[in-house]
Chain A
């Protein structure tokens, strides 16, 4: 028996390439998206340390919002607060909320999706019902009502509420993938050799769902950022802290838009849009990893290489032909 276990299953060896190759095989979109995201994560880590001013410090002599100057690179608010500092400090809270929400929601969707897909039967019926109900529950109004009852809640309660309402779509996708994986030969082989269920799930099923789980994480991250910014704008947020949403909320409530104080509202809006776009690009890239037919958008490559046909064997990895 020990001999049989020692042989690594061939599928997982083929699907997980070596480290260097994996990075090179990443689609361009994913690289750009990942690069922008890395910059935002870096700012989230060091932002509060490099912020030139206290973001909440007001200037009693300020008469109106002032545009960019040498002292205030992104200008000031109408009370003399430094916009750049607000942005540098506020990004941490926004990114942290996104990461927290995406982590909790992804754990939830993997746990329920894999359980439902792998066990099947009554467990699948029940869990699928729960997922479908959560998919159709309108999240934003429920969030407004819920967070309306929990005023001034911090990042963690908000993240928990956001992920409780945002896990179901990912769970459905992971369940569907688990269902198709479950009937593959290598899972049957693992069962025959007497592997324990948790081992099959952790070492045979999950490695084959990595790109799906990553895409789910990125999608939930985006949902959390957009929803939290929208909630802050509506006024359902903790306004004692700085994040992209609260900066925009204060800008809007001080009529920054109608007085033309673009330096006040454009930077946080564009920061949120860039962060969101980087996540979408990353997700495009992950999509292409999972569905090779979506790759090669440049026409030049297609002319030299044959386009993929449905009858081809499932392409796991694209290698350039050896000249």
Chain B
């Protein structure tokens, strides 16, 4: 119980840090959203500037502490401000339109990548120097390649040259977004190429870690004992060796999720996928600071939730460490 409270305490602190960084960036760094708008529209009058200052609530009024209080108050009421680029849309509505796309696509790609990479790692570590082990250098090269470079080549080949999959957007323009057949099939076919590129580039990390821990684990006496008992190779491999070797992979999920999010941001920009990453890109190019910050908050919250999930799975998977944290 003390362990659970400690971990929850950690997540509260991490969330608070993310909130506070998000608050401090625009207040400490030079320039405000209003100044950014002014740079785009130099003809605005002084009274218009004042109105904007009040509207966006990010002008320098009151003490820093007072502004911090206002910011937290707005946050807890679900008020993330108003988009300067898509005025008068609120940041929350912008997030609501984009977040489901990202979570559906990146979530499923991450799970497939984790399962596939871990399985390949088990096979590679079990028979080292074998067929599966030989795949590792190729995947490593793919992982060390800038993601967008691979993705652009994939679009060129699979979408433009061979016309196998669409390489642009989240679904065809004509279909209505919702739970209907045409939309789902269109969304799935649009998701294949982005998901495949994420999986191919992120698999090496899972595979390498699983392989290395697997190699260390099959040297343990209990694996030798299991083999001596005459258990089937499959049983020794999966329920004895892999069962224990997988723990660091689960623990590494917290770190990996950060990279997945980063890769996903670039993916959405390359594929013009209508998720938060593409939205963030648009916000950067349009100096839409409220949206930028709202997306940073949403991503932080998602990462923290994923870490919490990894924590819970780790505690279930490894009974020895009920008192220790996953990361």
Contacts and interface: CB of A to CB of B under 8 A. Distances in A.
A230 B152 contact: no
B107 interface: no
Contacts of B129: 297-299
A10 interface: no
Interface residues of B, number: 58
Interface in A271-323: 272-273, 275-277, 279-281, 287, 291, 293-294, 297-299, 307-311
Contacts of A150: 29
Contacts of B261: 138, 140-141
Contacts of A276: 143-146
Contact of B221 (A229, A230, A310): A310
B299 A138 contact: yes
B77 to A, nearest CB: 22
B281 interface: yes
B254 A265 contact: no
Nearest to B306: A136
A114 B30 CA distance: 35
Contact of A252 (B144, B152, B212, B299): B152
A144 interface: yes
B265 A258 contact: no
B265 A141 contact: yes
Contacts of A294: 212, 215-216
Contacts of A144: 265, 280, 284, 292
Interface residues of A, number: 55
Report whether over half of chain B's contact residues are helix, strand or loop; otherwise say mixed: helix
A257 interface: yes
A273 B146 contact: yes
B255 interface: yes
A213 B207 CA distance: 23
Nearest to B136: A284
A37 interface: no
Given A234-B281, A297-B133, A137 B300 contact: yes
B258 A146 contact: no
A138 B212 contact: no
A141 B295 contact: yes
Given A141-B265, A144-B292, A135 B327 contact: yes
B281 A145 contact: no
Nearest to B293: A145
Given A257-B152, A297-B129, A234 B13 contact: no
Contact of B269 (A138, A226, A234, A297): A234
B212 A141 contact: no
A279 B266 contact: no
Contacts of B152: 252, 257, 265
A235 interface: yes
A248 interface: yes
Nearest to A226: B146
Interface string B19-34: 0010001100111000
B154 to A, nearest CB: 10
A227 interface: yes
Most buried by A among B141, B289, B307: B141
A40 interface: no
Contacts of A235: 281, 284-285
B21 A142 contact: yes
A135 B255 contact: yes
A291 B18 CA distance: 36
A293 B216 CA distance: 6
A12 interface: no
B322 interface: no
A193 B285 CA distance: 62
A132 B140 CA distance: 27
B258 A136 contact: yes
A129 interface: yes
Interface string B249-263: 000001100100110
Nearest to B140: A280
A141 B307 CA distance: 17
B79 interface: no
A120 B19 CA distance: 29
B238 interface: no
A222 B204 CA distance: 15
Nearest to B297: A141
B262 A132 contact: no
Most buried by A among B31, B149, B261, B284: B149
A169 interface: yes
Nearest to B252: A169
Contacts of A135: 254-255, 258, 327
Q: Ordered nearest first, which 3 A-B pairs have the shortest CB separation?
A: A276-B144, A140-B262, A273-B145
11 contacts: A135-B254, A141-B300, A148-B289, A233-B266, A234-B269, A235-B285, A258-B156, A265-B149, A276-B143, A276-B146, A291-B216
Interface of B: 10, 13-14, 17-18, 21, 25-26, 29-31, 128-129, 133, 140-141, 143-149, 152-153, 155-156, 160, 212, 215-216, 219-221, 254-255, 258, 261-262, 265-266, 269, 280-281, 284-285, 287, 289, 292-293, 295-296, 299-300, 303-304, 307, 327
Given A235-B285, A311-B221, 6 more contacts: A140-B261, A144-B280, A230-B148, A233-B146, A258-B156, A265-B152
